Structure 1
Amino acid sequence: MLTIDNLTYRIQGRLLLDGATARIASGWKVGLIGRNGTGKSTLLRLIRESLQETDSAIRIGKAAKMGWVAQEVEASDRTLMDETLSSDTERAALMHASETVTDPDELAEIHERLMTTDAWSGEARAASILTGLGFSQSDLSRACREFSGGWRMRAALAGVLFAEPDLLLLDEPTNYLDLEGAAWLEAYIRQYPQTVLLVSHDRELLNNSVTHILALENLKLTVHPGNYDSWQKKRAEQLALAQAQKTKQDKQRAHLQSFVDRFRAKASKATQAQSRIKMLEKMQDIVIPLEERTHPFEFPASEELASPLFVLDDADLGYREGEPVLRNTSLRVDNDDRIAIVGANGQGKSTLVKSIAGRLKLLDGNRVSAPKVEIGYFSQDQLDELNEGENALDHVRRMRPAATEGQIRSIVANIGFNRDKAETKVEKLSGGEKVRLLLGLTALKKPNILILDEPTSHLDIDSREALIHALNDYEGAVLLITHDVYLAEATADRLWLVNEGQAAPYDGDLSDYRALVLAADKTRADTGNTKGDPAPAPPAPKRSDSDVRRATTDIRKRISASEREMEKLRGDLANLDAKLADPTLYDRDPAESQKLGADRDRLRAALDSAEEAWIEASEAYEQAARA
């Protein structure tokens, strides 16, 4: 289907690909991965442009139809359904011909082709794709100009999926999708009958949808069967093997060089020395690829405050009086909360977090914050709030006016900007660099509550992994809106569901929620329910946060006590192991070594008991929270 043969490409003098070669067979679902800036999107562009080139290092299967999302759908008066149907140009031409052609033989051929391509089910198929991507049935008859740019990007994605090309190219397709849309797309790609090549940093998508990984590293392309996790495991094994081989080679080289240095001047050993010199010259260096270091994120919390940190009590949230987006909202945030907020786009997730962050005034009800509470808020919308013409130093200087120039540069370096990047104007920064700057500025506030609304759209996989580590090390509360299931599962332990004008704790985990979302899509497909509104998301449970908190007070105390006990025992074990690691201990004081060994057995048994108590308390908490 796709052959890349000895491709070398430079852009503005910078080498992106050097003799890169890869072959992709028909029907493969391939994830193209690599660090930000390595040239993934450029490679997709070169593949698209290869259709117009007769002599190219990139070759597409004969007569294959290629499809991609070039730009958002135009803001026209055409309906969403008509725009999607027109994406399949062959179908559109045949449907038009079926109404205008009068010759019976030609008309028969047209109808035969329409039957072969299942053109008559086009509207139902288009409706299924559009609703899967988050549009309601009522949206399908609305003009495209009525939708925002993000939704028109979804419409463009729907169009290319509907056209069903032989080679489907997708560049970060989940960036404009919510968790529900991403889950649907994941299943759609897995079942897609043709070949797919997609660029994505969404680990869940790469694990559950692709059959192969195409890795762009060190200016080369390599194809690996399996998903992202299997590629990562194999890559780690290859690096370990290369390191072992290099260590062995270094020892061999040192041994040969030692012989040459010792005996080169001796006539009796001259021949042997020359032989070893030739062996050294023929020995090819084993090169270990340098791991690019991802700068860590850091979120230092301010002093711990008494819970609750924040409470919404019977509040109406929205933008206009009399038109609330969410009604009768009662939620609370405590010190140890890690909450992922789920719900389809347009249901009010961002409205909820903006109200908590104080960016929206309540329409009704009460909003109570703990004294001195600091809330850190990040949203993709804030990327536009960065000041063009200014650099990272200018933004930090505004937040720390009393800091010296050296202190400001140190802060900017800790955020992840080296000397050159620190002085780069905002408009010249990449999307990922802007996200890093905004997250760094948010961290400077030392918040008690960290609210992140889609923080990963411009981050590569390694940066997302660094964000996970930072959030898990962070000591404050976290509220997270994300389509990245891997991020949510790694950092959140509870869910809030925003659906049909309500926001409340959700009785289940992300796996439960995703399964119900996909089951609702399957039910609509099986019953042919494409004319009604999409099946609603699962209902929110009736219990409020405060009910759950009251019901689990004693259990949470047991969990905290077990965690403190485990931390203490692990520290004692580490100190004991340091003493037992002394090789002279056993000869110097056998009795002491025996006593320390017995103490270690006792501490290990105590730690096992503490861990068992923690597991039992955690399970009891989950059962009580679901009751």
Structure 2
Amino acid sequence: MGTCSEYIKNIFPSIDDDLKKYVEGVLENSADEFEDSEEIYDAIGAVLHEVSSDKTEEDIKSVCDDLLKMLRPDKDAKSNGGSLKILDGPIHLGSMAENQENNVEEIKSIWVQARDDSLKVDAKKLEKAQAKLQEKQEKRGKEIRVVAPPKLQTATASQVINKKESKLEAKGNNRAQDIRIENFDVAYGDRVLLQGADLTLAFGRRYGLVGRNGLGKSTMLNMISSGNLKIPSHISILHVEQEVIGDDTLAIDSVLECDTVRQNLLEKEKEISKAINEGSTDPDLNTQLSEVYAQLQNIEADKAPAKASIILAGLGFTTQMQQNPTKTFSGGWRMRLALARALFSRPDLLLLDEPTNMLDIKAIIWLENYLQNWPNTLLVVSHDRNFLDTVPTDILHLHSQRIESYRGNYEQFEKTKTEKLKNQQREYEAQLQQRQHVQEFIDRFRFNANRAALVQSKIKMLEKMPELKPIAKETEVVLRLPETEPLSPPILQLSEVTFRYNKDKVIFSDVNIGATMESRICIVGDNGAGKTTLLKIIMGILSPSAGTRHVHRNLKFGYFSQHHVDQLDMNVNSVELLQQQYPGKPIEEYRRQLGSFGVSGDLALQTVSSLSGGQKSRVAFASMCMGRPNFLVLDEPTNHLDIETIEALGKAINKYTGGVILVSHDERLIRMVTTELWHCSNGTVKSIEGGFDEYRKIVEQELEAVQAK
């Protein structure tokens, strides 16, 4: 470890001692488990990025390559059977043999000493133990052979094509702006997600696609964007799902490049101007240049940089950040860049999958306001209740392998759906009563000759009556957090705490905050303000640069973050995952724990890789709570959870007897559970009097100030 320590200090001279110890601890404790440099990057890459603003992602990955070579030299010495041993000096084999001959009697005397019979090895027991060991080794060998890359399941789709539209499409005469996908099926592997479904998207309307985790919402968006579900070819589609690839392109230029018409005209203008300046005598060049200028004026090309800048500023990019190359941004910021490109290019159909996951509350409020004026068709998958109440004009409800359309926002959808289900239930009960009444008449007069004609009439009426099915209600999601024992205060206290990554980069200073077992605290603030850093100091993962941290000796933290969801072992099922983390318990206990977070039945036996994002989050919650923590620290816990599960999480937190600190951008959850708001801003952390309403006012004022500039 000494070599690694010196290497890290040389590469990152400004690294804080506590951070250095943290990195060394990770490397030392997991040295034998790292199989490649990517795993080292996943473990410590984020910390190294924070302490080195001048280094790119490639630089950090190169450092991780060097660390792997130091930690695992056996990776480069496989041909030599692992690490090499160097002898201290020459060995004379002849003298070794002579010494052994001279000492035969001495050596023999060791073995002929009388031994206590109780210490003798029982031959039968030894044989059994060896057989058991061999069996275990063979089994382990088989397991190693079995652990191959999991067979990746793929999504498939089929649909019935309208003949009239097909003919128009073939002739190139289809100019319809509305999108109709009729009678289509979508499957993922062997599992049917949608069957005989219909989807109609009217031009200019904004649709929110909702439904439980794992039903196929994201898969359907992928099927539309990939062309597996056909829509008119003249309709442009943009699906925001992958982050922008980092290179030397400036952030503002990356957005401007999306306007291909403007980009092509500017390139053409450059070519013509260059030809004229080089002395070309072609008389048509001046005419072509005038036409290009006229087209640029028609599309208001000169206003494009300002529009792009407004979008980037709304999503949190400062003027300085807009001039930085895309390779200098982290994954979350590159996703914001992808969203900015989509908003700027204005496709006919914009597909967004959980756009609020990557945003702080300020950016979410800006996006809500921006999308309310979206001129084209929008289809968005979201579980942010406030976002769904603000943006969509229609709600598409995916359930029972079909899609139902409702006018209005999510609040109106809930009311309409509830009323609709009540009417269907009343209709079913009325028909059931009528059937019973008719059946009683038939049974009573079946053998009465005088009533034979009437009985036959009733039988035919019963056969023709449409058979209604009872309303299948969606099962209520219930999450159960562990019971805790009360602790006497003080529980948690930060006094005069300052934290810096280096001398010039102070994250916050003079922080004085405390929490109890009754605390329900939400930390808010812009991305990069230090919310996650504050959580790590609270848990003791990072040490303050100055000040003191006091925690109760029996306080046991349960930490949840989206990073932990991404780190789950994807090759095992959920039961096996808990077995790895908490060995030695009965299978029933693992299944009971998973069941308390909605992962039950066959779902618990599916490989983690086949689960949806929300289902993986539930598995991560089950894993965290199996350690029976009495204080929960939740960093963006709602990402990928459906609305019903977020609601269930809020109820579970309210029932929980331990303390809770969370970082979240979900306004409904914040209002539902928190009693105190800590605001990370301008290098400090302060409690906001007036709760979320007051914080929202602060954010809206900041947005107005940005737009005024």
Shorter-chain TM band: 0.7 to 0.9
Check conservation: 1:166, 1:194, Cα contact below 8 A. yes
CA deviation digits over 1:390-433, x for unaligned, max 9? 43333434565453333333333333332433333333433222
Query: Counterpart of 1:10 in structure 2: which amino acid?
Result: V
Q: 1:32 aligned to 2:209?
A: yes
CA distance in 2, matches of 1:113, 1:197: 31
Letter in 1 for 2:237: M
Give 1:295 shift. Answer: 3.8
2:394 aligned with 1:201: no
Match 1:244 to one of 418, 423, 426: 426
Partner of 2:3: none
SS in structure 2 opposite 1:450? strand
Point out the more displaced range, 180-189 or 323-332: 323-332
Relative to structure 1, the CA distance from residue 58 to residue 257 in structure 2 (aligned partners, 3 Å threshold; closer, same or farther) is: farther
Write the mapping of 1:44-55 to structure 2, written as runs, cut at 5 A: 44-50=221-227
1:69 and 2:237 matched:
no
CA contact (8 A) 1:7 1:57 kept: no
CA distance in 2, matches of 1:65, 1:322: 47
| Structure 2 counterpart SS, 1:452 | strand
Tell me the distance in 2 between the aligned counterparts of 1:372 and 1:255: 66
Query: What amino acid is the match of 1:45?
Result: N
What amino acid is aligned across from residue 444 of structure 2 in structure 1?
R
Residue 259 of structure 2 aligns with which residue?
88
Task: Please state if 1:487 is matched with 2:669.
Answer: yes
Q: Which amino acid aligns with 2:271?
A: T
Matches of 1:273 and 1:498, distance apart in 2 = 78
| Residue 43 (str. 1) matches residue 43 (str. 2) | no
Partner of 1:100: 271
The reply on whether 1:191 has 2:373 as its aligned counterpart is yes
Residue 104 to residue 294, structure 1, CA distance change in 2 (3 Å): farther
The CA deviation at 1:199 is: 1.2
Q: Which amino acid aligns with 2:661?
A: L
Give the superposition deviation at 1:13: 4.4
Residues 1:228 and 2:410 are matched in the alignment:
yes
Change (3 A) 1:21 1:404: closer
| Alignment map for 1:150-549 (pairs within 5 Å) | 150-319=332-501, 323-397=505-579, 400-401=582-583, 403-525=585-707, 527=708, 529=709
Shift of 1:49: 4.1
The DSSP-based 3-state class of the residue aligned with 1:47 is helix
Q: CA deviation at 1:330?
A: 1.2
Identity between Structure 1 and Structure 2 (%):
36
The Cα of 1:289 is off from its aligned counterpart by 4.4
Letter in 2 for 1:3: I
Structure 1 counterpart of 2:183, from 1, 4, 7: 7
Equivalenced residue count is 521
1:101 aligned counterpart, secondary structure: helix
- Unpaired runs of at least 5, structure 1: 530-627
Name the SS for the 1:191 alignment partner. coil
Partner amino acid for 2:350? L
Give, in whole Å, the separation in 2 of the partners of 1:322 and 1:307: 36
Separation in structure 1 between the aligned mates of residue 616 and residue 500 of structure 2, nearest angstrom: 28
1:35 counterpart letter in structure 2: R
Instruction: Give 3-state SS (helix, strand or coil) of 2:195's partner.
Output: strand
Task: Say whether the 8 Å CA contact 2:591–2:600 is kept in structure 1.
Answer: no
2:51 matched to which residue of 1? none
State the alpha-carbon separation in 1 of the partners of residues 373 and 626 from structure 2.
45
Cα separation, 2, equivalents of 1:147 and 1:109: 39
What amino acid sits opposite 2:183 in the alignment? Answer: L
- Provide the secondary structure at the position in 1 that maps to 2:372: helix
Secondary structure at the counterpart of residue 246 of structure 2 = coil
Question: Cα deviations across residues 259-298 of structure 1 (Å, max 9, x unaligned)?
Answer: 1111112111111111111111111122344233244111
Instruction: Give, in whole Å, the separation in 2 of the partners of 1:479 and 1:32.
Output: 30
Assess if the C-alpha contact under 8 Å between 1:203 and 1:461 holds in 2. Answer: yes
Amino acid at match of 2:401: L
**Separation of aligned partners in 2, 1:29 and 1:310:** 46
The 8 Å contact of residues 224 and 230 in structure 2, kept in 1 or not, is answered as no
Return the offset for 1:250: 0.4
* AA at the equivalent of 1:210: P
**Cα 1:82–1:375 shift into 2, 3 Å:** same
Q: After the TM superposition, which segments of 4 or more aligned residues of structure 1 sit over 6 Å from their partners?
A: none
Question: Tell me, what secondary structure is at the counterpart of 1:442?
Answer: helix
Cα distance change on mapping 1:214 and 1:433 into 2, 3 Å: closer
- Mapping of residues 580-591 of structure 1, within 5 Å: none
Q: Which amino acid aligns with 1:153?
A: M
Structure 1's 405 and 46: CA in aligned 2 closer, same or farther, altered over 3 A?
closer
Measured at CA, do residues 399 and 302 of structure 1 come closer, stay the same or move farther in structure 2, by a change above 3 Å? farther
**d(CA) in 1 for partners of 2:192 and 2:577?**
33
Q: Secondary structure at the match of 1:304?
A: coil
Cα contact 1:326–1:503 (8 A) shared by 2: yes
Letter in 1 for 2:462: L
Change in Cα spacing, 1:408 to 1:220, as seen in structure 2 (3 Å) is: closer
TM-score w.r.t. the length of structure 2 is 0.70
Q: Is the 8 A contact 1:329 1:503 kept in 2?
A: yes
CA apart distance, 1:331? 0.7
CA distance, structure 1, for counterparts of residue 438 and residue 202 of structure 2: 47
Contact kept, 8 Å, 1:154 with 1:176, in 2: the verdict is yes
Alpha-carbon contact 1:80-1:139 (below 8 Å) kept: yes
Counterparts in 2 of 1:404 and 1:169: CA distance versus 1, 3 Å:
closer
Change (3 A) 1:407 1:449: closer
> SS of 1:213's equivalent?
strand
Contact 2:214 2:615 (8 Å CA) reproduced = no
The superposition leaves residues 173-194 of structure 1 with CA deviations (integer Å, 9 ceiling, x where unpaired) of 1121122221111111112222
Tell me: CA distance 1:20–1:388, structure 2 relative to 1, closer, same or farther (3 Å).
closer
Determine if contact 1:308/1:335 at 8 Å carries over to the other structure: no
How far, CA to CA, are the matches of 1:7 and 1:364 in structure 2? 64
The answer to whether the Cα contact below 8 Å between 1:2 and 1:58 also exists between their aligned partners in 2 is no
Name which of structure 1's ranges 10-19 and 148-157 shifts more when overlaid on structure 2: 10-19
CA contact (8 A) 1:376 1:443 kept: yes
Q: Partners of 1:506 and 1:293 in 2: how far apart? A: 38
AA paired with 1:195? T
Aligned residue for 2:432, secondary structure, equals helix
1:222 is paired with a residue whose SS is strand
Cα separation, 2, equivalents of 1:396 and 1:14: 25
SS of structure 1 residue aligned to 2:534: helix
The CA distance in 2 between the partners of 1:377 and 1:153, in whole Å, is: 25
- Is 1:128 aligned to 2:310, yes or no? yes
CA drift of 1:380 comes to: 0.8
Of 238-247 and 129-138, more deviation after overlay is shown by 129-138
Trace 1:100-119 onto structure 2 (pairs within 5 A). Answer: 100-101=271-272, 103-119=285-301
Taking a change above 3 Å as real, the CA distance of residues 10 and 58 of structure 1, as seen in their structure-2 partners, is same
Deviates further, 437-446 or 495-504: 437-446
Q: Distance in 2 between matches of 1:198 and 1:418?
A: 29
Asked whether the 8 Å contact 1:6–1:18 carries over to 2, the reply is no
